[in-house]
Amino acid sequence: MALRFLGAIAAFAALALVSTGAASSWMDDTPSREWQTAQADDPLRERPKRATQRRFVSLRSDEVNVRVGPGVRYPVKWVFRQKAIPVEVVQEYDTWRKIRDWEGAEGWVHRAMLSSRRSVIVTGRTATLRRRSSDEAPAVARLARGIVAELGECTPVWCRVEVDGYEGWLRREGLWGIRKDEILP
């Protein structure tokens, strides 16, 4: 008897849900209006207006806050403390850019903290800066891992750079801040 009574209550509840239209929203996979509104206000949501053009840029200041999200209300993840470090822009939202550094760390910075001036960073153990774009050319300097250099022109094999008053050519392998097939005049 108790089972029949519970079965009748369940059937009545299902009938009530169907007749009021509540069953379709309860059983449907479509998101609620509140959820849709929250999604529309979420700044991290992809906006279809334009695709991000991935590109290398450099840091404009000696102190750049990298945040968790695109806005000053998001906490700071870390702080860059050196000007001209190359970073890759991987996403854009309004005046904010999501960047990736040479070690793969990502975060958001305001576009005012970025410069279109190009630079590279030495990722190999050491790199020999040469007077000309040739392995036989005299060495100008040896650059250690992590050294940042201002980028000039690039051929398929060599890049002309300047670092601390030294100018010369570096082999492209072991540098980060330039695309594999990118040529700069």
Instruction: Flag whether pLDDT at 148 surpasses 90.
Output: yes
Local structure of residue 103 (DSSP, 8 states): T
d(CA 71, CA 75): 9
Name the band, by pLDDT with cuts 50, 70 and 90, for residue 163: very high
Q: pTM for this one?
A: 0.69
Domain range 120-176, its CATH number among 2.30.30.40, 3.40.50.2300, 3.40.50.300, 3.50.50.60: 2.30.30.40
Would you state the pLDDT for residue 70?
95
Name the band, by pLDDT with cuts 50, 70 and 90, for residue 9: very low
Q: How many helices (H) and strands (E) does the chain have?
A: 3, 14
Evaluate whether 55-117 and 120-176 have a shared fold.
yes
Q: Report residue 80: phi and psi, to 5°.
A: -75, 140
Residue type, 65: N
User: What value does the mean pLDDT take over residues 74-88?
Assistant: 94
d(CA 25, CA 16): 13
CATH assignment, 55-117: 2.30.30.40
Query: What residue spans define the domains of the chain?
Result: 55-117, 120-176
Instruction: Flag whether pLDDT at 24 surpasses 80.
Output: no
Dihedral sign for Cα 135, 141, 142, 147, please.
Answer: negative
